[in-house]
Amino acid sequence: MISNISNGNSLNTSARRILVAGGAGFLGSHLCERLLNQGHSVVCLDNLSTGRMENLSHLLSFDRFSFVRHDIVASLDLPVDEIYNLACPASPPHYQADPIHTMKTNVIGSLNLLELATRYQARIFQASTSEVYGDPHVHPQPEHYWGNVNSFGPRSCYDEGKRSAETLFHDFHQQHGVDIRVVRIFNTYGPRMRPDDGRVVSNFIVQALKGEDITVYGDGSQTRSFCYVNDLIEGFHRLMYSPNAIHTPVNIGNPDEFTVGALAEQIIDMIGSRSKVAHRPLPVDDPRQRRPDIEVAKRELGWQPTVELADGLRSTIAYFERQLAKRTGKLAA
Ligand code: NAD
Ligand code: UDP
């Protein structure tokens, strides 16, 4: 119902039918919400491997919203005006649990969605990743850097899968004139990550809230740059609907760079936790450093992040407090 509009985005008069693959996940659920609030019809398609219906519970009352349980590795036919492809587990433990299916999702799944886009002349958006830069030798990473990626390791199913997907997007644009948009997402965090997601921000917050050891992999000197989810979704919107159609990949991320050790300390301090840092082995091929060069997004989209890490962490911590309280309540019941 339109009366449910909550985030102040204006309604779009040219409402479209939009497919969001991976819409029950962390980022996908925020995207579905944004598109619904703009007046579009949204079909969320998800195999619920890492996604959760609870991420969508507040959207089910929209009559313009529908959910289809489907794996994009299987072909599909659905008339649509636009497609967003976010379907793929994003956390290393999840995408490494079934690496062959991760590769299939990125290659066969992307192919299926690109064929759908060709059939219905739909604009199609790909959620690519900073992992296409691998363990980078160029820092920060601009879009024209080709990366340093291992094709034969535990991260390869994801990194090479996403690289192959980018190639397919490039080729469908060149060969069939498909209207593509490709975003390279840098580490993003916020409400609706799973408590057992396995990525660093959710792990540290959940561990700190429970008073458990904070598992810093390696010596904690590796760096990442953390973008709050609302900033990212605004970047998606600007890229997808920019008047100057950009058919090449665009980095979207927050260039403020932190060591993993510093992130652990900040989360312990903010929560006032009794947790101690406990070092664990560094995973194979873990990138040493990562930070986006966002000059293209600034120049072409007028986009830059607005949420400071401390502010984003505050709302993410509040979310996980509620999640844990809900679970404890359930256990006690
Ligand atoms: P997530 O794991 O929360 O969401 C992925 C969603 O895709 C889940 O709902 C999952 O059930 C669904 N899915 C997975 N495989 C599928 C398949 N074969 N068919 C249908 N659905 C499938 O992860 P997220 O953080 O929301 O990431 C969303 C997208 O953004 C992913 O493509 C990811 O690679 C990309 N990305 C995310 C980040 C980040 O920091 N969050 C960074 C880089 C790229
Ligand atoms: N990391 C960590 N402890 C954890 C989870 C992750 O120290 O409990 C580290 C991980 O080794 C990496 C960084 O945090 O250096 C970011 O990891 P994440 O899995 O969030 O994302 P990615 O490695 O894909 O950037």
Which domain CATH number covers 160?
3.40.50.720
More confident residue, 244 or 180: 180
The share of the chain scoring above pLDDT 70, in percent, equals: 95
Q: Report the residue among 44, 50, 107 best suited for mutation to probe ligand 1: largest number of ligand atoms under 8 A from its CB.
A: 50
Does a structural domain hold residue 233?
yes
ipTM above 0.90, yes or no: yes
Indicate if the pLDDT at residue 332 is higher than 60: no
**Domain that includes residue 302, residue range:** 17-190+227-254+287-306
pLDDT (average), residues 262-275? 98
- Write out pLDDT tens, residues 132-174: 999 999 999 999 999 999 999 999 999 999 999 999 999 999 9
Query: Is there a domain that residue 65 lies in?
Result: yes
- CA 67 – CA 42 distance, rounded (Å): 9
- In the reported structure, the alpha carbon of residue 301 is separated from the centroid of ligand 2 by a whole-number distance in angstroms of 29
**The whole model's pTM is what?**
0.95
Burial environment of residue 116 by CB neighbours within 10 A (0 to 12, 13 to 18, 19 or more): buried
Q: How far apart are CA 51 and CA 316, in angstroms?
A: 18
What pLDDT score was predicted for residue 329? 72
**Domain annotation covers residue 122:** yes
Confidence of residue 328 (pLDDT cuts 50, 70, 90): confident
Catalytic residue among 84, 95, 133, 158: 158
Average pLDDT in the 28-40 region?
Answer: 98
Residue 158 designated active-site = yes
Per-residue pLDDT averaged across 167-195, rounded? 98
The predicted pLDDT at position 330 comes to 56
Tell me what percent of the residues of the chain surpass a pLDDT of 90. Answer: 93
**Is residue 291 assigned to a domain?**
yes
**Tally of structural domains, the chain:** 1
Distance CA 65, CA 19 (A): 10
Tell me what the mean pLDDT of segment 251-278 comes to.
98
What pLDDT does 301 receive? 98
10 has a pLDDT exceeding 70: no
Residue 106 predicted with pLDDT over 90 = yes
Cβ–Cβ < 8 Å for 182, 249 = yes
Q: Which ligand is nearest to the CA of 224?
A: 2
Residue 14: the pLDDT is: 78
Residue 7: inside a domain = no
Query: Per the domain annotation, does 221 fall within a domain?
Result: no
**Token representation of residue 306:** 């607005």
Residue 79's SS3 state is: coil
Which of 198, 203, 118, 206 lies closest to 158, judged by CA? 198
In the chain, what's the furthest Cα-to-Cα distance?
58
Nearest atom, ligand 1, residue 105 CA: 18
pLDDT band at 8 (very low <50, low <70, confident <90, very high): very low
